[in-house]
Amino acid sequence: MVGSAIKVSFIAMGVIFLVLTILIGLIQILVKLIPYEAPPAPPAKPQAAAGPDEGETVAAIHAAVARHRGQTPESIQITHIQPR
């Protein structure tokens, strides 16, 4: 019984190596036939132009922040707006 188990083990390992070696060969053929091509670089995103109502929005936020802090709008200066 152990003898036949050893025989089965050798045959089975042989089959596994055979199947996986065939797959290695096929992968190599595929990789050679279809080489990797780097995708084209995406076009640069144009800088969003300031909309007509952007100034009004900033002014409204400015006033709201000042009111929330209990200060006058003049005492707060918005120095930078992070574009979305």
DSSP letter, residue 13: H
If one asks whether residue 27 binds other proteins (CB under 8 A), the answer comes out as: yes
Q: Which two tokens stand for residue 56?
A: 């009004």
Distance CA 72, CA 84 (A): 27
Considering only the C-alpha atoms of the chain, give the largest distance between any 2 of them, rounded to a whole number of Å: 95
Q: Which of 22, 63 has the CB closer to other proteins?
A: 22
Residue 81 and residue 59 in contact, taking contact as beta carbons nearer than 8 Å? no
Q: Which of 9, 57 has the CB closer to other proteins?
A: 9
Q: Which of 14, 55 has the CB closer to other proteins?
A: 14
Q: How far is the CB of 40 from other proteins (least distance, A)?
A: 14
Angle, CA 64 vertex, CA 58 and CA 65 arms, to 5°: 90
If one asks whether residue 40 binds other proteins (CB under 8 A), the answer comes out as: no
Applying CB under 8 A, the residues found at the interface with other proteins are: 1-2, 4-6, 8-9, 11-13, 15-17, 19-24, 26-28, 30-31, 34-38
